[in-house]
Structure 1
Amino acid sequence: MKDKGVFVIGGVVGAAIVYGIITFFGPGAGGDQSVELRPDDLKLVALGKKVYDANCASCHGRQFEGQDNWRERDANGLLPAPPHDETGHTWHHPDAVLFALTKYGPSVMAGEDYQSAMPGFEDVLTDEEILASLSYVKSRWPAEIRQRHDQINLSAKQQ
Protein backbone atom coordinates (compact mmCIF):
# COMPACT_ATOMS: atom_id res chain seq x y z
CA MET A 1 0.00 0.00 0.00
CA LYS A 2 2.95 2.31 0.66
CA ASP A 3 3.94 2.10 -3.02
CA LYS A 4 0.45 3.21 -4.02
CA GLY A 5 0.70 6.20 -1.67
CA VAL A 6 4.05 7.17 -3.14
CA PHE A 7 2.53 6.85 -6.60
CA VAL A 8 -0.38 9.12 -5.64
CA ILE A 9 1.96 11.68 -4.07
CA GLY A 10 4.16 11.51 -7.15
CA GLY A 11 1.08 12.09 -9.31
CA VAL A 12 0.08 15.14 -7.27
CA VAL A 13 3.60 16.56 -7.48
CA GLY A 14 3.65 15.79 -11.20
CA ALA A 15 0.32 17.55 -11.66
CA ALA A 16 1.64 20.59 -9.79
CA ILE A 17 4.69 20.69 -12.04
CA VAL A 18 2.54 20.36 -15.15
CA TYR A 19 0.27 23.15 -13.88
CA GLY A 20 3.31 25.35 -13.32
CA ILE A 21 4.63 24.52 -16.77
CA ILE A 22 1.30 25.27 -18.43
CA THR A 23 1.09 28.53 -16.52
CA PHE A 24 4.67 29.39 -17.45
CA PHE A 25 4.22 28.48 -21.12
CA GLY A 26 0.56 29.40 -21.45
CA PRO A 27 -0.88 32.10 -23.69
CA GLY A 28 0.94 35.37 -23.21
CA ALA A 29 3.77 33.78 -21.26
CA GLY A 30 7.35 34.58 -22.10
CA GLY A 31 8.50 30.96 -22.50
CA ASP A 32 10.08 30.00 -25.81
CA GLN A 33 8.00 27.19 -27.26
CA SER A 34 10.17 27.03 -30.37
CA VAL A 35 12.90 25.08 -28.55
CA GLU A 36 13.66 21.91 -30.46
CA LEU A 37 16.14 19.25 -29.40
CA ARG A 38 18.48 18.04 -32.14
CA PRO A 39 19.65 14.53 -31.23
CA ASP A 40 20.89 13.89 -34.79
CA ASP A 41 23.18 16.95 -34.82
CA LEU A 42 26.50 15.24 -34.05
CA LYS A 43 28.38 18.45 -33.28
CA LEU A 44 25.69 19.64 -30.87
CA VAL A 45 25.46 16.19 -29.24
CA ALA A 46 29.26 16.11 -28.76
CA LEU A 47 29.06 19.48 -26.98
CA GLY A 48 26.09 18.15 -25.01
CA LYS A 49 28.07 15.18 -23.73
CA LYS A 50 30.73 17.53 -22.36
CA VAL A 51 28.11 19.76 -20.75
CA TYR A 52 26.19 16.79 -19.33
CA ASP A 53 29.33 15.14 -17.93
CA ALA A 54 30.41 18.39 -16.26
CA ASN A 55 27.02 19.55 -14.92
CA CYS A 56 24.44 16.75 -14.84
CA ALA A 57 26.12 13.36 -14.46
CA SER A 58 27.03 13.88 -10.80
CA CYS A 59 23.32 13.57 -9.92
CA HIS A 60 21.64 11.94 -12.93
CA GLY A 61 24.47 9.47 -13.58
CA ARG A 62 26.98 9.02 -16.40
CA GLN A 63 24.71 6.32 -17.86
CA PHE A 64 21.53 8.36 -17.12
CA GLU A 65 20.62 5.94 -14.31
CA GLY A 66 19.55 8.61 -11.80
CA GLN A 67 19.74 8.22 -8.05
CA ASP A 68 18.37 5.34 -5.99
CA ASN A 69 14.72 5.58 -4.96
CA TRP A 70 14.19 8.59 -7.20
CA ARG A 71 10.41 8.42 -6.78
CA GLU A 72 10.58 8.75 -2.99
CA ARG A 73 11.44 11.90 -1.04
CA ASP A 74 14.64 11.74 0.99
CA ALA A 75 15.11 12.75 4.63
CA ASN A 76 15.17 16.42 3.56
CA GLY A 77 11.86 16.04 1.71
CA LEU A 78 13.53 16.29 -1.70
CA LEU A 79 13.13 13.91 -4.60
CA PRO A 80 16.42 12.33 -5.73
CA ALA A 81 17.53 12.94 -9.32
CA PRO A 82 15.50 10.83 -11.76
CA PRO A 83 17.08 8.77 -14.52
CA HIS A 84 17.29 10.35 -17.95
CA ASP A 85 17.13 7.04 -19.76
CA GLU A 86 13.95 5.35 -21.00
CA THR A 87 13.07 4.21 -17.44
CA GLY A 88 12.65 7.77 -16.18
CA HIS A 89 10.10 10.45 -16.95
CA THR A 90 12.32 12.92 -18.81
CA TRP A 91 11.04 11.82 -22.22
CA HIS A 92 7.45 12.42 -21.09
CA HIS A 93 8.00 16.19 -21.32
CA PRO A 94 8.10 18.29 -24.51
CA ASP A 95 11.36 19.96 -25.53
CA ALA A 96 10.34 23.43 -24.35
CA VAL A 97 9.45 22.09 -20.89
CA LEU A 98 12.75 20.19 -20.57
CA PHE A 99 14.61 23.32 -21.60
CA ALA A 100 12.74 25.50 -19.07
CA LEU A 101 13.16 22.97 -16.24
CA THR A 102 16.89 22.87 -16.91
CA LYS A 103 17.30 26.61 -17.33
CA TYR A 104 15.08 27.81 -14.46
CA GLY A 105 14.87 24.73 -12.21
CA PRO A 106 11.78 22.79 -11.18
CA SER A 107 11.08 25.05 -8.19
CA VAL A 108 10.62 28.07 -10.44
CA MET A 109 8.44 26.06 -12.80
CA ALA A 110 6.18 24.50 -10.15
CA GLY A 111 5.99 27.39 -7.70
CA GLU A 112 7.99 28.62 -4.75
CA ASP A 113 6.59 25.96 -2.40
CA TYR A 114 8.00 23.13 -4.51
CA GLN A 115 11.35 22.01 -3.16
CA SER A 116 13.97 20.45 -5.38
CA ALA A 117 17.69 19.85 -5.11
CA MET A 118 18.04 20.62 -8.80
CA PRO A 119 19.20 24.15 -9.45
CA GLY A 120 18.36 26.20 -12.47
CA PHE A 121 21.32 26.56 -14.81
CA GLU A 122 20.40 29.98 -16.17
CA ASP A 123 23.52 31.59 -14.68
CA VAL A 124 25.77 28.58 -15.37
CA LEU A 125 25.04 27.42 -18.92
CA THR A 126 24.21 29.22 -22.13
CA ASP A 127 20.99 28.37 -23.93
CA GLU A 128 23.08 26.54 -26.53
CA GLU A 129 24.73 24.42 -23.82
CA ILE A 130 21.34 23.55 -22.30
CA LEU A 131 20.00 22.61 -25.73
CA ALA A 132 23.15 20.58 -26.38
CA SER A 133 22.94 18.65 -23.10
CA LEU A 134 19.27 17.81 -23.66
CA SER A 135 19.97 16.83 -27.27
CA TYR A 136 22.70 14.52 -25.99
CA VAL A 137 20.29 12.90 -23.54
CA LYS A 138 17.68 12.37 -26.26
CA SER A 139 20.32 10.96 -28.62
CA ARG A 140 20.83 8.09 -26.16
CA TRP A 141 17.18 7.04 -25.98
CA PRO A 142 16.03 3.97 -27.91
CA ALA A 143 14.36 4.72 -31.26
CA GLU A 144 10.90 3.86 -29.92
CA ILE A 145 11.24 6.30 -27.02
CA ARG A 146 12.55 9.04 -29.33
CA GLN A 147 9.52 8.52 -31.58
CA ARG A 148 7.15 8.69 -28.62
CA HIS A 149 8.88 11.87 -27.45
CA ASP A 150 8.50 13.36 -30.93
CA GLN A 151 4.76 12.66 -30.68
CA ILE A 152 4.64 14.42 -27.30
CA ASN A 153 6.32 17.44 -28.91
CA LEU A 154 3.83 17.40 -31.76
CA SER A 155 0.89 17.26 -29.35
CA ALA A 156 2.34 20.11 -27.27
CA LYS A 157 2.73 22.32 -30.33
CA GLN A 158 -0.88 21.67 -31.39
CA GLN A 159 -2.27 22.87 -28.05
Structure 2
Amino acid sequence: MKKCLLPTLTITGFILMSGCTDSISTANKLLQQIQQGQTEIVERNFDPAQITRGRAIFRENCAVCHGPNAEATPNWRKPLENGRYPPPPLDGTAHAWHHSTEELKRFILKGGPPGEGRMPGWEGKLTEQEIEDILVWIKSLWPDEVYDAWYKRIEHRQ
Protein backbone atom coordinates (compact mmCIF):
# COMPACT_ATOMS: atom_id res chain seq x y z
CA MET A 1 0.00 0.00 0.00
CA LYS A 2 2.88 2.40 0.70
CA LYS A 3 3.94 2.10 -2.95
CA CYS A 4 0.70 3.83 -4.04
CA LEU A 5 0.84 6.62 -1.47
CA LEU A 6 3.21 9.00 -3.31
CA PRO A 7 1.48 8.68 -6.69
CA THR A 8 -1.88 9.08 -4.99
CA LEU A 9 -0.78 12.24 -3.21
CA THR A 10 0.81 13.61 -6.39
CA ILE A 11 -2.28 12.95 -8.50
CA THR A 12 -4.55 14.35 -5.81
CA GLY A 13 -2.36 17.45 -5.62
CA PHE A 14 -2.53 18.22 -9.29
CA ILE A 15 -6.27 17.54 -9.35
CA LEU A 16 -6.73 20.16 -6.64
CA MET A 17 -4.31 22.59 -8.27
CA SER A 18 -5.85 22.29 -11.72
CA GLY A 19 -8.78 24.25 -12.96
CA CYS A 20 -9.34 22.26 -16.16
CA THR A 21 -12.17 19.73 -16.23
CA ASP A 22 -10.35 17.57 -18.79
CA SER A 23 -7.32 17.36 -16.54
CA ILE A 24 -9.46 16.24 -13.60
CA SER A 25 -10.93 13.47 -15.72
CA THR A 26 -7.47 12.45 -16.93
CA ALA A 27 -6.07 12.63 -13.41
CA ASN A 28 -8.93 10.55 -12.01
CA LYS A 29 -8.37 7.86 -14.65
CA LEU A 30 -4.65 7.86 -13.97
CA LEU A 31 -5.23 7.67 -10.22
CA GLN A 32 -7.54 4.66 -10.68
CA GLN A 33 -4.93 2.95 -12.88
CA ILE A 34 -2.19 3.57 -10.30
CA GLN A 35 -4.34 2.28 -7.45
CA GLN A 36 -5.09 -0.85 -9.45
CA GLY A 37 -1.44 -1.25 -10.39
CA GLN A 38 -2.32 -1.03 -14.09
CA THR A 39 0.02 1.68 -15.21
CA GLU A 40 3.69 1.65 -16.02
CA ILE A 41 5.40 4.99 -15.66
CA VAL A 42 7.07 6.23 -18.83
CA GLU A 43 10.82 6.31 -18.40
CA ARG A 44 12.46 9.62 -19.26
CA ASN A 45 15.66 9.59 -21.23
CA PHE A 46 16.77 13.22 -21.03
CA ASP A 47 20.26 14.33 -21.95
CA PRO A 48 21.86 15.66 -18.72
CA ALA A 49 23.80 18.30 -20.69
CA GLN A 50 20.54 19.55 -22.23
CA ILE A 51 18.95 19.76 -18.78
CA THR A 52 21.93 21.78 -17.52
CA ARG A 53 21.77 24.14 -20.51
CA GLY A 54 18.01 24.51 -20.17
CA ARG A 55 18.27 25.38 -16.50
CA ALA A 56 20.88 28.08 -17.21
CA ILE A 57 18.90 29.57 -20.11
CA PHE A 58 15.69 29.49 -18.05
CA ARG A 59 17.31 31.23 -15.10
CA GLU A 60 18.78 33.90 -17.36
CA ASN A 61 15.58 34.62 -19.28
CA CYS A 62 12.51 33.22 -17.54
CA ALA A 63 13.20 33.14 -13.80
CA VAL A 64 12.34 36.78 -13.26
CA CYS A 65 8.68 35.88 -13.86
CA HIS A 66 8.43 32.13 -13.22
CA GLY A 67 10.97 31.85 -10.38
CA PRO A 68 14.48 30.34 -10.53
CA ASN A 69 13.15 26.80 -10.09
CA ALA A 70 9.98 27.34 -12.16
CA GLU A 71 7.99 27.49 -8.92
CA ALA A 72 6.13 30.74 -9.80
CA THR A 73 5.60 33.78 -7.68
CA PRO A 74 3.59 33.80 -4.46
CA ASN A 75 -0.17 34.07 -5.01
CA TRP A 76 0.05 33.06 -8.66
CA ARG A 77 -3.60 31.96 -8.54
CA LYS A 78 -4.84 35.34 -7.39
CA PRO A 79 -5.73 37.74 -10.23
CA LEU A 80 -3.86 41.00 -10.47
CA GLU A 81 -5.68 44.36 -10.55
CA ASN A 82 -5.97 44.08 -14.34
CA GLY A 83 -7.78 40.73 -13.95
CA ARG A 84 -4.94 38.66 -15.35
CA TYR A 85 -3.02 36.08 -13.41
CA PRO A 86 0.68 36.15 -12.52
CA PRO A 87 2.96 33.65 -14.28
CA PRO A 88 2.19 30.09 -13.16
CA PRO A 89 4.66 27.51 -11.96
CA LEU A 90 6.09 25.27 -14.66
CA ASP A 91 7.37 22.58 -12.30
CA GLY A 92 4.42 20.23 -12.71
CA THR A 93 2.23 21.79 -10.02
CA ALA A 94 0.09 23.84 -12.44
CA HIS A 95 -1.19 23.22 -15.93
CA ALA A 96 1.86 23.48 -18.23
CA TRP A 97 1.67 19.72 -18.61
CA HIS A 98 -1.74 20.11 -20.30
CA HIS A 99 0.02 21.38 -23.43
CA SER A 100 2.01 19.51 -26.04
CA THR A 101 5.64 20.34 -26.67
CA GLU A 102 4.61 22.13 -29.86
CA GLU A 103 2.09 24.28 -27.98
CA LEU A 104 4.65 25.14 -25.32
CA LYS A 105 7.17 26.11 -28.01
CA ARG A 106 4.55 28.32 -29.65
CA PHE A 107 3.77 30.03 -26.32
CA ILE A 108 7.47 30.75 -25.83
CA LEU A 109 7.99 31.99 -29.37
CA LYS A 110 4.81 34.04 -29.78
CA GLY A 111 3.89 34.80 -26.18
CA GLY A 112 0.73 33.74 -24.54
CA PRO A 113 -1.16 31.66 -24.01
CA PRO A 114 -3.73 33.54 -26.11
CA GLY A 115 -6.23 35.49 -24.05
CA GLU A 116 -4.40 34.69 -20.83
CA GLY A 117 -0.93 35.93 -20.79
CA ARG A 118 1.25 38.83 -20.64
CA MET A 119 4.15 36.57 -21.48
CA PRO A 120 6.23 38.21 -24.16
CA GLY A 121 7.22 36.31 -27.27
CA TRP A 122 10.85 35.18 -27.34
CA GLU A 123 11.08 34.73 -31.11
CA GLY A 124 14.36 36.22 -32.31
CA LYS A 125 15.71 36.29 -28.75
CA LEU A 126 16.02 32.57 -28.07
CA THR A 127 17.07 29.97 -30.62
CA GLU A 128 15.01 26.86 -31.28
CA GLN A 129 17.70 24.82 -29.52
CA GLU A 130 17.56 27.09 -26.45
CA ILE A 131 13.78 26.71 -26.31
CA GLU A 132 14.08 22.92 -26.61
CA ASP A 133 16.68 22.93 -23.82
CA ILE A 134 14.37 24.98 -21.58
CA LEU A 135 11.47 22.64 -22.22
CA VAL A 136 13.55 19.55 -21.42
CA TRP A 137 14.66 21.15 -18.15
CA ILE A 138 11.05 22.06 -17.27
CA LYS A 139 9.84 18.52 -18.03
CA SER A 140 12.67 17.14 -15.90
CA LEU A 141 11.08 18.93 -12.92
CA TRP A 142 7.70 17.25 -13.31
CA PRO A 143 6.91 14.39 -10.94
CA ASP A 144 6.97 11.01 -12.67
CA GLU A 145 3.19 10.65 -12.54
CA VAL A 146 2.64 14.09 -14.08
CA TYR A 147 5.18 13.44 -16.84
CA ASP A 148 3.61 10.04 -17.48
CA ALA A 149 0.09 11.51 -17.78
CA TRP A 150 1.38 14.28 -20.07
CA TYR A 151 3.32 11.86 -22.26
CA LYS A 152 0.45 9.40 -22.63
CA ARG A 153 -2.52 11.78 -22.76
CA ILE A 154 -1.13 14.92 -24.38
CA GLU A 155 2.12 14.31 -26.20
CA HIS A 156 1.30 10.87 -27.60
CA ARG A 157 -2.47 10.75 -26.99
CA GLN A 158 -2.81 7.12 -25.93
For structure 1, which runs of at least 5 residues remain unmatched after alignment? Answer: 1-9, 12-37
Give the structure-1-normalised TM-score: 0.66
Distance 1:127 1:74 in 2: 31
Whose radius of gyration is greater, 1 or 2? 2
Distance 1:72 1:80 in 2: 8
Distance 2:89 2:109 in 1: 18
Give the structure-2-normalised TM-score: 0.66
| Alignment equivalent of 2:48, drawn from 37, 42, 48 | 42
Q: CA deviation at 1:68?
A: 2.5
Distance 1:82 1:131 in 2: 19
| Alignment equivalent of 1:105, drawn from 95, 111, 118 | 111
Distance 2:156 2:101 in 1: 10
TM superposition outliers: structure 1 runs of 4+ over 3 Å? none
Q: Does 1:139 align with 2:145?
A: no
Distance 2:52 2:131 in 1: 13
Q: Does 1:91 align with 2:97?
A: yes
Residue of structure 2 equivalent to 1:19: none
Give the total of aligned pairs.
Answer: 116
Q: CA deviation at 1:115?
A: 5.6
Of all paired residues, the percent bearing the same amino acid is: 37
Distance 1:39 1:95 in 2: 16
Q: CA deviation at 1:78?
A: 2.5
For structure 2, which runs of at least 5 residues remain unmatched after alignment? Answer: 1-18, 21-43
Cα RMSD between the aligned structures? 2.0
Is contact 2:111–2:118 with CA below 8 Å preserved after alignment?
no
Distance 1:39 1:63 in 2: 21
Deviation string 1:62-85 (CA, Å, 9 cap, x unpaired) is 122112232332013321000112
1:144–1:115 distance in 2 versus 1, CA, 3 Å: closer
Distance 1:116 1:45 in 2: 26
1:154–1:137 distance in 2 versus 1, CA, 3 Å: same
Residue of structure 2 equivalent to 1:55: 61
1:98–1:39 distance in 2 versus 1, CA, 3 Å: farther
